[in-house]
Structure 1
Amino acid sequence: MSEYSPTRRTPRKHKRVVREGTERFDADGVKLEPADMMTERQREADDDKRILGELPPHWAVFNDKR
């Protein structure tokens, strides 16, 4: 590194530091995922099963008539 000089005519250039990030991700559409192989009906059935599994028990539909 050069020392500071008030008589220096040209400014020193900044040395850019580039570090590789730790982020690792796949862009959408790059890799084939299991969901890409499913039909629309299979996706809807999977969504329904997931949603029904997430609902609280008191939201259940009862078909029993008393």
Structure 2
Amino acid sequence: MPSYDAHRRTPRRHHRVTMKGTERFDADGVKLEPSDVQTREQRDADDDQRILGELPPHWAVFNERGR
């Protein structure tokens, strides 16, 4: 590598530094998720429970008419 010269006429080119990444991830479809082995009915029931848990308490379903 040549030594530094303050009177150099052409700028030195930047050398790109590349480092190996440390990220580790699972690509979609490679590993089985717990939801992959559930039936459609089980997924629907889980969704219903999740939605009912997220609703505010005043959102109730009344099956009988008040007297």
Question: What RMSD over aligned residues (CA atoms) do the two structures have, in Å?
Answer: 2.5
Deviations 1:2-49 (A, max 9, x none): 3135267xx745322123445443222121100000011111111011
TM-score, normalisation: structure 2 = 0.68
Q: How many residues are paired up? A: 64
Aligned equivalents of 1:24 and 1:15: distance in 2?
27
> Matches of residues 1-66 of structure 1 in structure 2 within 5 Å?
2-4=3-5, 6=8, 12-21=12-21, 23-65=23-65, 66=67
Task: Considering fraction of residues, name the structure with more helix.
Answer: 1
TM-score, normalisation: structure 1 = 0.69
Report the secondary structure of 1:57's partner residue: coil
Stretches of structure 2 that go unaligned for 5 or more consecutive residues are none
Identical amino acids, percent of aligned pairs: 69
Stretches of structure 1 that go unaligned for 5 or more consecutive residues are none
